Amino acid sequence: MINIKQGIWLSGVLGLIIVILLCILFFVPSPEEKLVGADGLQINLKQNQEVSSPLTITGVVTGKDSWAGFEGQVGNVKLLDTTGNELSVGVLTATTEWTTLPTSFETTLNFQADGATSGVLVFHNENPSGIPEKNKTFTLPIKIGKSSGELMTVKVYFGGSILADAECDVVSPVDRIIPKTQTVARATIEELLKGPTVEEKVGGYLSVIPVGSKLNSISIVNGEARVDFSATTESGGGSCSMAARVAQITQTLLQFPTITSVKLSINGRTGDIFQP
C-alpha cells in the first residue's frame, strides 16, 4: 500500500511531468512554425504564406554560406509579383550588433496590392567583396493579399555619384511608399535613415548619413521642424559630408507645405553640430 508520504511524492512527480508537457506544447514550435530560409539565413515566414502591406520581416543570419552582416545591414529583399514586377524593396537592417554572429535583422515592405495574387520574396545577401561567387539568394513563394491600409508616396533625398560634379549640398529625391500616417514627417525621416536600396545604389545614389543614426524626436512649431538625432548622425566625415547630411535631412522635410524651415540638434545640443 502507498502511504501518505509516497502519495504526496507521486503527486509532485506527476505534477512536474504535466508542467513539462505543457511547456513543450506551448513553447516549442511545431515544424511548420520554425523559421525557414537558406543555409545561413532564417526568416519568420512560411512558404506560400499570405502577406499584406505593411509586411514586417524578421530573421537571423549565422555567417554560414556568406550570409553575414556589413555596416549595419545583412542584405536586402525584393517582393515580385507573378509577372516579375517589383512591388517593393527593403534593406535587411541589423537589430543586433552586426559584427557578432548570429545577427538578427528586420525590414518592413510597403506595397500596393488590389487583390490576392501570387508572388515571391527574393533575399540577397550582403556581399561587400563584390566577388560574384559570394552572391547568395533565397527565393520564397508567397501569396499577396490586399493591402490592409492606405499608402502614400513621399520623397527622400540622397546624394551620390550621379551628382559627382555638383556641390556637396546638392541632393536628389527618390520616391518611397509608406503607410498613410498623420506623423508623415517622422515616417519620412525614418525612411531616409534606412538609406538607398540596392537599385538606388546601382543608379548612383548614396547617403552620407551614418548607418545606425537614430531620430530622437521631431516637432513642428510655427512652420519650423525641430529635429533631434542621436550622436551617430554627426560622427565621422569631413565638411563636405556634413553639408550633404544637413541637405539630405533638410530637403526631405521641406517637401511638406507645413514646414518652412528646419532646426537640427544632436541629443538636444544645437550649437557646433555637424562640424568636421
Which band of pLDDT confidence, cut at 50, 70 and 90, is reported for residue 8?
A: low
- Confirm if 117 and 69 have CB atoms less than 8 A apart: no
For residue range 147-169, what is the model confidence (pLDDT) as tens digits?
A: 667 788 999 999 875 545 557 88
Cα separation, 70 vs 197, in Å, equals: 15
Q: 50: how many CB neighbours lie within 10 A of its CB?
A: 11
Query: Which of the 8 DSSP states describes residue 30?
Result: P
Higher per-residue confidence, 25 vs 105: 105
Residue 221 pLDDT: 96
Which band of pLDDT confidence, cut at 50, 70 and 90, is reported for residue 15?
A: low
User: Is the pLDDT score of 22 beyond 70?
Assistant: no
Residue 73 pLDDT: 85
Q: 103 pairs with which residues across the strands? A: 61
**Of 14-18, 201-205, 212-216, 268-272, minimum mean pLDDT range:** 14-18
Residue 178 pLDDT: 86
For residue range 47-104, what is the model confidence (pLDDT) as tens digits?
A: 999 998 889 999 999 999 899 988 788 998 999 988 888 888 888 988 999 889 999 9
- Confirm if 168 and 135 have CB atoms less than 8 A apart: no
Residue 151 pLDDT: 81
Taking the CA atoms of residue 176, residue 97, residue 137 and residue 112 in that order, the dihedral angle to the nearest 10 degrees is: -20
Amino acid letter for position 114: D
Report yes or no on whether pTM surpasses 0.95.
no
User: Domain 41-144 falls in which CATH fold?
Assistant: Immunoglobulin-like (2.60.40)
Burial of 95 by CB count in 10 Å (0-12 exposed, 13-18 middle, 19+ buried)?
middle
Which of 202, 215, 203, 210 minimizes the C-alpha distance to 253? Answer: 215
Residues 6+ apart with CB under 8 A from 85: none
User: Is the pLDDT score of 33 beyond 80?
Assistant: no
- Range list for CATH 2.60.40.2550 in the chain: 41-144
Helix (H) or strand (E) holding 12, with range, is helix 4-27
Higher per-residue confidence, 234 vs 1: 234
